[in-house]
Amino acid sequence: MDIFQFFMLLGGLAFFLYGMTVMSGGLEKVAGGKLERTLRKMTSNPLKSIGLGMGITVAIQSSSAMTVMLVGLVNSGIMALEQTVGVIMGSNIGTTLTAWLLSLSGIDGDNIFIKMLKPTSFSPLIAILGVILMMTGKGKKADIGSVFVGFAVLMYGMSFMSDSVAGLAELPEFQNILVAFTNPILGLLVGAVFTGIIQSSAATVGIVLAFAGTGDITFGMAIPIILGSNIGTCVTALLSSIGVNKNARRVAVIHIVFNVIGSVICLILLYGINAFYPLGFLSGTIDEVGVAIVHTVFNVFTTIVLLPFSKYLVKFANVVIKNKKTEESYEVLDERLMRSPAFAIAESRNVTKKMAELAKGNLTRAIDLFKEYNPKLSDEITEIEEKIDQYEDKLGTYLVKLSSYELSETESNDVSELLHTIGDFERIGDHAVNIQKLATEMHDKQISFSESAMADLDVVVKAVNEIVEITMEAFNKNDSELAMKVEPLEQVIDGLISESKNRHIIRLTNGSCTIELGFILSDLLTNFSRVSDHCSNIAVAIIQIKDSAFDTHGYLNEIKQGLEPTFRKNFEEYKEKYHLIKGE
């Protein structure tokens, strides 16, 4: 093997790793938030967890990325440690698909259909199709194009590695090196160390496949290296667990222990049996398909053996990483999730929903204080407002960092929408606190509104509650049609508030109300008006993201001129539904 063949081997490995990265990234973007939604369906059923782990790893073609996601999710408090065990097991099985795809390179035959199964035959076509999609398409089409290009580059890398080692079988020096690999412990260590360095078990298996093509590698040499690659891939999870809470570090412990125990059990069984009853196949030559079979059998066997002991894996992780007496607090979101922007955006949206629910709940509590004042409820509003502020601060920082990553057009729009809406949700929470303070002031001064003022407020409150409900539902469902109903109701609320203020002046004139109560009523109505304004801002953001051609200024001008038919229809319906009772 001369220096140029060595360069070719390294270049092939570089192409392989780059192709895997491009393909994985493209697959994650195509899958988008589906990955996150799938994980959220996790139950305590271990078989379902294994299935989900397999499915997601097949989708993103990286067990390391899957484990890093789990570390981030556990660190954020989104998943429980117990839920990750089955996912890790399934992820190990899912990653074997790569070996099966790579094993196609060993197919031989003159039949045209058999030839088309070889990666060297169909990879050029996939590469051309991928480039066309990337150059002409946008969004999902461009992402699919990157998947195709990544796959083609990966396969060419595999071909380069195979070509670079093709002549090694004839060299005596190579034969001498192979003799050393008959020691299973050495093979295990080499597989673990090499995989730990390049952080890709698929690449290690790819190199074993390349050497298998020389026809001089036996099962006894290949098996320990493949087992070692499963241990080495845990390095990624170990690195990602630096600086996270104890539960997240336990995910890395479970991953390492699972693969180490599985490898040890397999080696002991295999070579223990061989010591008493020699297994002939160990000295037999392994081909590309044989490598894929070994990789799959090991991961399936390990999962079957250790699945009944899942609880003990968790207990062992808890022993290794002990809890302190003080309870740990979770981060709102973990930056490790940014490895998959679509996943990070989906989780950011879920956290925003939690923040929005807190703001909505605080508004309801604040309004309830006017019906029956409760000091504990008042204190609860203050405490929740602090949480809302923390959500807004951490979400804003997280989304700004996320926007610096390479995002698709859809992902950029989603980040923009979230950055716009979190401020409005936070302001709704602020107005709830303002309303709480007004209720506290009236309680301390032992004053109350007149019956007619309360009747007017009751209508306004019902309208405000509905606009908040519609806005929250539109945001949660990302429903632009529902969001279109917000602006008409906001206009009706503005009219109700203006009429309420005029009616207050009448009551003030005839002596049925006081100036002091008038100031409180005016502030209260102003806060209600601001809440509806922020709902309008959120609705416009939803519509704009859903419809990039939506012209906000043109839409508002049409509303002012009465030219927008849908708005007029909804406006008249809400106007009929919400009107002040005739009287003072």
Per the model's pLDDT, the better-predicted residue between 378 and 60 turns out to be: 378
Q: If you average pLDDT over residues 422-449, what whole number do you get?
A: 91
Choose from 33-47, 75-89, 163-177, 215-229 the range with maximum mean pLDDT. 215-229
φ, ψ dihedrals at 169, nearest 5°: -60, -25
Identify the CA nearest to 326 among candidates 246, 406, 269, 398.
246
The SS3 call for residue 110 is: coil
Which pLDDT band, with edges at 50, 70 and 90, does 110 fall under? low
Q: Each residue of 112-147: pLDDT tens digit?
A: 555 555 666 677 888 898 889 888 877 778 878 888
Can you tell me the distance from the alpha carbon of 40 to that of 60, in angstroms, rounded to the nearest whole number?
A: 17
Can you tell me the distance from the alpha carbon of 370 to that of 374, in angstroms, rounded to the nearest whole number?
A: 9
Least confident of 398-407, 418-427, 467-476, 488-497: 398-407
What's the confidence (pLDDT) of residue 174? 52
Question: Does the pLDDT value for residue 23 go beyond 70?
Answer: yes
What is the full DSSP assignment across 403-466?
Answer: HTS---HHHHHHHHHHHHHHHHHHHHHHHHHHHHHHHHHHHHHT----HHHHHHHHHHHHHHHH
Residue percentage of the chain with pLDDT more than 90: 20
Can you tell me the distance from the alpha carbon of 534 to that of 427, in angstroms, rounded to the nearest whole number?
A: 7
What's the confidence (pLDDT) of residue 41? 60
What's the confidence (pLDDT) of residue 67? 74
Q: Each residue of 537-560: pLDDT tens digit?
A: 999 888 887 655 455 555 555 555
Question: Does the pLDDT value for residue 50 go beyond 60?
Answer: yes
What's the confidence (pLDDT) of residue 550? 52
Question: Does the pLDDT value for residue 329 go beyond 60?
Answer: no
CA distances from 322 to 84, 250, 326, 462, 554 (A): 18, 9, 12, 51, 60
Can you tell me the distance from the alpha carbon of 490 to that of 456, in angstroms, rounded to the nearest whole number?
A: 17
Per the model's pLDDT, the better-predicted residue between 322 and 376 turns out to be: 376
What is the full DSSP assignment across 280-305?
Answer: GGGGSBP-HHHHHHHHHHHHHHHHHH
What's the confidence (pLDDT) of residue 567? 82
Cα 399 from chain centroid?
A: 13
What's the confidence (pLDDT) of residue 357? 93
The SS3 call for residue 218 is: strand
The SS3 call for residue 561 is: coil
Residues 564 and 558 sit within 8 Å (Cβ to Cβ) = yes
Can you tell me the distance from the alpha carbon of 25 to that of 37, in angstroms, rounded to the nearest whole number?
A: 18
What's the confidence (pLDDT) of residue 327? 45
Question: Does the pLDDT value for residue 358 go beyond 90?
Answer: yes
Residue percentage of the chain with pLDDT more than 70: 82
φ, ψ dihedrals at 161, nearest 5°: -65, -40
Can you tell me the distance from the alpha carbon of 534 to that of 146, in angstroms, rounded to the nearest whole number?
A: 39
Can you tell me the distance from the alpha carbon of 90 to that of 67, in angstroms, rounded to the nearest whole number?
A: 11
What's the confidence (pLDDT) of residue 326? 45
Q: Each residue of 451-487: pLDDT tens digit?
A: 888 888 899 999 999 999 999 999 988 888 899 899 8
What's the confidence (pLDDT) of residue 106? 55
Can you tell me the distance from the alpha carbon of 296 to that of 291, in angstroms, rounded to the nearest whole number?
A: 9
- The mean pLDDT of the chain is 80
First and final CA of the chain: distance in angstroms?
Answer: 100
Beta-carbon contacts of 389 under 8 Å, excluding residues fewer than 6 positions away, are: 426, 429
Question: Does the pLDDT value for residue 388 go beyond 60?
Answer: yes
Can you tell me the distance from the alpha carbon of 331 to that of 440, in angstroms, rounded to the nearest whole number?
A: 33
Q: Each residue of 246-274: pLDDT tens digit?
A: 877 888 888 889 989 999 999 899 888 88
Question: Does the pLDDT value for residue 171 go beyond 60?
Answer: no
Cβ of 444: how many Cβ atoms within 10 Å? 9
Provide, for the chain, the percentages of residues in helix, strand and coil under a 3-state DSSP scheme, each rounded to the nearest 5. Answer: 80, 0, 20
Question: Does the pLDDT value for residue 404 go beyond 80?
Answer: yes
Residues 468 and 535 sit within 8 Å (Cβ to Cβ) = yes
Per the model's pLDDT, the better-predicted residue between 584 and 88 turns out to be: 88
Pair of tokens at residue 267: 């080696």
* Residue ranges of domains in the chain, CATH in brackets: 7-320 (no CATH), 337-577 (1.20.58.220)
What's the confidence (pLDDT) of residue 170? 54
φ, ψ dihedrals at 11, nearest 5°: -65, -40
Question: Does the pLDDT value for residue 488 go beyond 80?
Answer: yes
Question: Does the pLDDT value for residue 95 go beyond 90?
Answer: no
What's the confidence (pLDDT) of residue 328? 46
